[in-house]
C-alpha cells in the first residue's frame, strides 16, 4: 500500500465517503449487470440488452445542463438527497414480470444516469474539501478501486440471485444499499461554504465551457478520455455477443467476466496515484489506452483464455483514463466552477461512449462482433500515440491558469480534524 493510499484511509471523512461508495457500489454493480441480463432473458435480444448501457450514459449528453445544479447547492446534502431518491425509484422495477414491462428497466436506468451525472459532479466538488491536493489522485484511484472492485463479488451475486429468484431480489438489494449509503454520507463532517447567489443558467453553463477552452492541457486530456470511452462504449455494446456468439455461453456468464474486470480495476485504481506522480497525465493516459487496445483485440478471439485476458486489460486501462481526467479537473478548476466543469467533462468524456453503445448495437446486426472489436483495437493504438501529444500537463498540486478578472481558486475549506492530515 502506497503512502498516499495510507494517508487517504487515515482521513476520517475520506474513509466514511469510501464506505458509502463501497455500499452503494455493491448494489449498483449487481443491478446494472442484472438489468442487461433481465432484458436479454425477457426479449432474447443481445442488441436490446446492450442498449441498457445507453440509458445509463444517455443523460451525460446533457450533463452541462444538469451539472449547473451542483454549483447551486451545498454538495454533501445534495449527495444524500440523490441517494435517497434512487432508493425511492428502484422499487418501480418490482413491477417487471413480462416483456411488456421491459420499458421500465430502460426508464430506471435513465434515472440512474441522471443521478450519476449529479453525484459525480457533486463529489468532484466536495472531495477537495476533504483531501489535500497532492492526494487527489490517490483518493480517486482508491474510490475507483472500491467502486469497480465490487465487480469481484457483486456481479456474481447479482447473476446468482437472478438465476435463482429473478430480478426482484436484486432490486431490493440495490434499494437497501442506496439507503444505507445515504445514512453514511449523513455522518460526514465537512465544512462547506454556502454557494454564492446563482448567475443566470446560461452564464453558469458558459463559465464551465469557457474554463476548458482556456486550459489547453486539460482540454487535451478530456479529448483523449472521450475517445477512449467511445471505444469502451463499443466494447460494452458487444459484451453479450462476445459471450453468446464468441464463447457460446449463457448471458449470466457476463457476471464472471465482470468479476475479472473488477480484478483489473483493483490494480488500475490502486496504481493510479503513484503512476500519476511518476509519469504525469499524458503518459498514464497513453499507457491506459494501449491496455485498452490489447484488451479489445483479445476479446475478439473466440476462446475463453484470450477473452478473460482482454477483459482484465480493459479493467486496468479504463479506470486509469477516468482517474487521470477527474484528478486533473479537481486540481485545475476553481471551487465555484467544479460542479459545472465536472459535468461538462463527463459529457465530453461519456457522451461519445453513449453514441458508441447505440452505434455498436446497430452495427452488430450487420457485422460480426470480432470485426468491430478489431477495428476498435486499431483505433485505440492510434489514440495511445495521440495521447502523448498536446501541451505539457500541469504538475500535481499546481493550479491551472486563471482567466483574467477571476480570483485565483482558494485552498480547500478544512474539514474538522483536517490538521491531522499533515
Q: Residue ranges of the domains in the chain?
A: 3-190+201-397
Q: State the pLDDT confidence band at 33, using cuts at 50, 70 and 90.
A: confident
- The full 3-state SS of 15-61, as one line of letters, equals HHHHHHHHHHHHHHHHHHHHHHHHHHHHHCCHHHHHCHHHHHHHHHH
> What nine digits make up the cell of 214?
482556456
Residue 228: its pLDDT value, please? 93
Residue 390: its pLDDT value, please? 60
**CA nearest neighbour of 299 among 371, 358, 249:** 371
- pLDDT > 90? residue 271: no
Residue 175: its pLDDT value, please? 95
- pLDDT > 50? residue 229: yes
Residue 215: its pLDDT value, please? 84
DSSP 368: -
CA 134 to CA 18: how far, in whole Å? 18
> What nine digits make up the cell of 50?
446492450
CA 147 to CA 262: how far, in whole Å? 9
- pLDDT > 80? residue 204: no
Structure confidence by residue, pLDDT tens digits, 98-142: 888 989 999 999 998 888 888 888 887 788 777 776 778 788 888
Could you confirm whether domain 3-190+201-397 is CATH 1.10.620.20?
Answer: no
CA 90 to CA 175: how far, in whole Å? 6
CA 154 to CA 26: how far, in whole Å? 5
- Number of residues written out for the chain: 422
- pLDDT > 50? residue 261: yes
Q: State the pLDDT confidence band at 364, using cuts at 50, 70 and 90.
A: confident
Q: State the pLDDT confidence band at 47, using cuts at 50, 70 and 90.
A: confident
- DSSP assignment string, 168-209: HHHHHHHHHHHHHHHHHHHT-----PPPPPPPPHHHHHHHHH
Work out the average pLDDT over 152-162: 82
The pLDDT > 70 percentage for the chain reads: 88
> What nine digits make up the cell of 225?
478520455
* Higher pLDDT among residues 386 and 352, named by residue: 386
- pLDDT > 90? residue 309: yes
Judged by average pLDDT, the poorest of 30-39, 222-231, 362-371 is 362-371
- DSSP assignment string, 223-283: HHHHHHHHHHHHHHHTHHHIIIIIT---GGGHHHHHHHHHHHHHHHHHHHHHHHHHH-HHH
Judged by average pLDDT, the poorest of 77-91, 99-113, 199-213 is 199-213
CA 119 to CA 139: how far, in whole Å? 16
Helices (DSSP H) in 44-134: which residue ranges? 46-50, 52-57, 63-67, 75-89, 102-126
pTM over 0.75: no
CA 369 to CA 211: how far, in whole Å? 39
* 217 neighbors 393 (Cβ within 8 angstroms): yes
Residue 399: its pLDDT value, please? 37
Judged by average pLDDT, the poorest of 9-18, 31-40, 92-101, 308-317 is 9-18
Judged by average pLDDT, the poorest of 128-132, 243-247, 327-331 is 128-132
- pLDDT > 70? residue 2: no
Mean pLDDT of the chain: 80
* Residue 307: its H or E element: helix 304-332
* Higher pLDDT among residues 91 and 11, named by residue: 91
Residue 378: its pLDDT value, please? 93
CA 68 to CA 75: how far, in whole Å? 12
Amino acid at each position: 500500500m502506497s503512502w498516499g493510499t495510507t494517508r487517504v484511509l487515515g482521513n476520517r471523512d475520506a474513509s466514511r465517503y469510501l464506505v458509502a461508495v463501497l455500499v452503494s457500489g455493491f448494489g449498483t454493480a449487481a443491478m446494472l449487470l442484472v438489468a442487461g441480463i433481465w432484458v436479454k432473458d425477457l426479449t432474447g435480444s443481445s442488441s436490446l440488452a446492450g442498449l441498457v448501457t445507453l440509458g445509463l450514459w444517455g443523460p451525460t449528453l446533457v450533463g452541462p445542463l444538469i451539472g449547473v445544479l451542483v454549483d447551486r447547492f451545498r454538495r454533501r446534502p445534495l449527495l444524500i438527497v440523490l441517494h435517497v431518491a434512487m432508493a425511492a425509484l428502484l422499487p418501480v422495477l418490482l413491477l417487471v414480470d413480462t416483456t411488456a414491462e421491459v420499458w421500465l428497466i430502460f426508464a430506471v436506468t435513465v434515472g440512474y444516469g441522471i443521478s450519476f451525472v449529479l453525484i459525480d459532479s457533486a463529489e468532484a466538488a466536495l472531495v477537495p474539501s476533504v483531501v489535500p491536493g497532492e492526494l487527489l489522485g490517490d483518493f480517486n484511484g482508491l474510490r475507483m478501486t472500491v467502486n469497480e472492485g465490487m465487480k469481484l463479488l457483486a456481479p456474481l451475486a447479482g447473476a446468482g440471485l437472478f438465476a435463482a429468484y429473478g430480478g426482484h431480489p436484486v432490486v431490493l438489494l440495490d434499494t437497501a444499499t442506496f439507503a444505507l449509503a445515504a445514512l453514511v454520507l449523513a455522518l460526514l463532517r465537512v465544512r462547506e461554504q454556502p454557494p454564492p447567489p446563482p448567475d443566470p443558467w446560461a452564464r453558469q453553463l458558459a463559465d464551465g465551457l469557457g474554463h476548458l477552452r482556456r486550459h489547453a492541457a486539460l482540454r487535451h486530456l478530456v479529448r483523449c478520455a472521450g475517445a477512449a470511452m467511445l471505444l469502451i462504449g463499443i466494447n460494452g455494446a458487444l459484451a453479450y455477443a462476445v459471450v453468446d456468439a464468441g464463447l457460446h455461453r449463457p448471458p449470466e456468464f457476463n457476471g464472471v467476466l465482470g468479476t475479472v474486470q473488477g480484478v483489473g480495476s483493483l490494480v488500475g485504481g490502486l496504481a493510479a496515484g503513484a503512476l500519476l506522480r511518476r509519469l504525469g497525465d499524458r503518459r498514464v493516459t497513453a499507457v491506459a489506452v494501449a491496455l485498452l487496445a490489447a484488451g479489445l483485440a483479445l476479446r475478439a478471439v473466440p476462446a475463453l483464455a484470450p477473452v478473460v485476458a482482454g477483459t482484465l486489460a480493459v479493467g486496468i486501462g479504463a479506470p486509469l483514463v477516468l482517474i487521470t481526467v477527474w484528478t486533473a479537473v479537481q486540481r485545475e478548476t476553481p471551487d465555484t466552477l467544479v460542479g459545472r466543469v465536472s459535468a461538462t467533462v463527463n459529457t465530453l468524456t461519456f457522451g461519445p461512449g453513449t453514441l458508441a453503445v447505440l452505434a455498436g448495437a446497430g452495427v452488430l446486426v450487420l457485422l460480426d462482433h470480432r470485426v468491430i472489436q478489431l477495428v476498435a483495437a486499431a483505433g485505440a493504438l492510434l489514440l495511445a500515440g495521440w495521447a502523448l501529444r498536446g501541451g505539457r500537463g500541469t504538475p500535481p498540486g499546481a493550479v491551472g491558469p486563471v482567466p483574467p478578472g477571476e480570483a485565483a481558486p482558494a485552498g480547500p475549506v478544512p474539514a474538522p480534524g483536517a490538521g491531522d492530515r499533515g
